[in-house]
Amino acid sequence: MTSKSSENQTSSQQNGMRFWLTKLFILCFSAFWILALMIRLTVRDSGGVVPTLVFYATPLILLSLGATMVFVLAWRAHWYRISLVWFILSLLTGIWCWNSQFRSHGLHPGLQDQNRPEMRVLFWNIGDRLWGMDVVLEELKTIDADLIGLVEAGADSADMKQFWQDSFPDHPFQVVNNGFVFLSRIPVSNQNSGTLTEMGRFERVDLKRGQEPGGGIAVYLVDINSDIFKSRKKALLELANRVSEMPDQPILVLGDFNTPSDSDHFRPLRKLLKNTFEIAGDGYMATWPLPLPVLDLDSIWINDHVTAVDTKNRWTWTSDHRPVVTDVIVKSLKQD
């Protein structure tokens, strides 16, 4: 009898300890969750290193899942009123996440056959490949884009340049430079490289559209550094300044910005360009990290001289980034 009583007492003490540890976890996690929400609603990633770290670590989908977890734990801890609050918060953040991260635009309505997309554009960061380059090539050829922009694609050696020429003979216009690869079926009339302060690099090519005077398309291929302790503000402002110099020219910006689209630092660029997934996307917006992406770091942006018809972020296990594919129509100067 004494042994059983002692075992029951020990079991009761262990249950009590787990009960109070659960409540302590709920309180600590709730404080962090509320802090993360307040940062997202106010300064986001423009308030210094600590708010930026919290902002990047708590995308909306994780905030919603975190609220759901606290709801379950609070209910199990018999904090029914608190669990009701967290149930409401999980619903609100879930709706917020659904409205901002999931799209179902589909094909642009009202398109006539003569106005079908004239170009398919692909952007993909293939740096951290889970499989070999053969699998990358298979995915690229399945998409069959007219313009292909790749970053972190390896050294720009003579062997690598020959590799891309042999792999894509139907894309005769190619730029392979410093980890950037640009493959095009459309003639390239100009090409140059540059930096976006100390936080990024770009490759710019101008595409020639038939004989139309001034009808070229400026395409930027961008890769922003992933250093989370340094702000992307100056790099994105530099990109916006470059784009602002060409108000009368069709512009495409393809990039791994290592910055979620709801970042405060995208404001200057948003005055000039539109994110194609936000206006013509279909599916889930986040692109990194696979297999469970939570941040939309990769995107394609266009100005008013380009119409996005359909945009998809494809599911593939080839890289830790999802490829972004968009079909576009480039307006002629006569239409403008």
pLDDT at 154: 86
pLDDT at 130: 75
Q: Which domains occur in the chain, in start order?
A: 2-102 (no CATH), 107-330 (3.60.10.10)
Average pLDDT, rounded, for the chain: 90
Query: Residue 87: pLDDT above 50?
Result: yes
Task: Round to whole Å and give the CA distance between 91 and 76.
Answer: 19
pLDDT at 128: 85
Q: Tens digit of pLDDT for each residue in 49-82?
A: 999 999 999 999 999 999 999 999 999 988 999 9
Mean pLDDT of 85-94: 97
Tokens representing 211? 């004989």
Query: Residue 114: pLDDT above 50?
Result: no
Query: Residue 10: pLDDT above 60?
Result: no
Query: Residue 180: pLDDT above 70?
Result: yes
Q: Which of 292, 296, 265 is nearest to 278 (CA)?
A: 296
Backbone CA torsion sign across 195, 196, 199, 203: negative
Query: Residue 249: pLDDT above 70?
Result: yes
What's the pTM value of the predicted model, to 2 decimals? 0.90
Radius of gyration of the chain (CA): 24
Q: Which of 197, 151, 142 is nearest to 177 (CA)?
A: 151
Mean pLDDT of 13-20: 66
Query: Residue 15: pLDDT above 70?
Result: no
pLDDT at 261: 96
Give the model's confidence band at 216: pLDDT under 50 very low, under 70 low, under 90 confident, else very high.
Answer: confident
pLDDT at 9: 53
pLDDT at 199: 95
Lowest mean pLDDT among 16-30, 38-52, 196-210, 273-287: 16-30
pLDDT at 336: 45
Q: What is the DSSP letter of 331?
A: P
- Compute the C-alpha angle 151/177/147, nearest 5°: 55
Task: Round to whole Å and give the CA distance between 225 and 127.
Answer: 13
Q: Which of 253, 262, 257, 259 is nearest to 306 (CA)?
A: 253
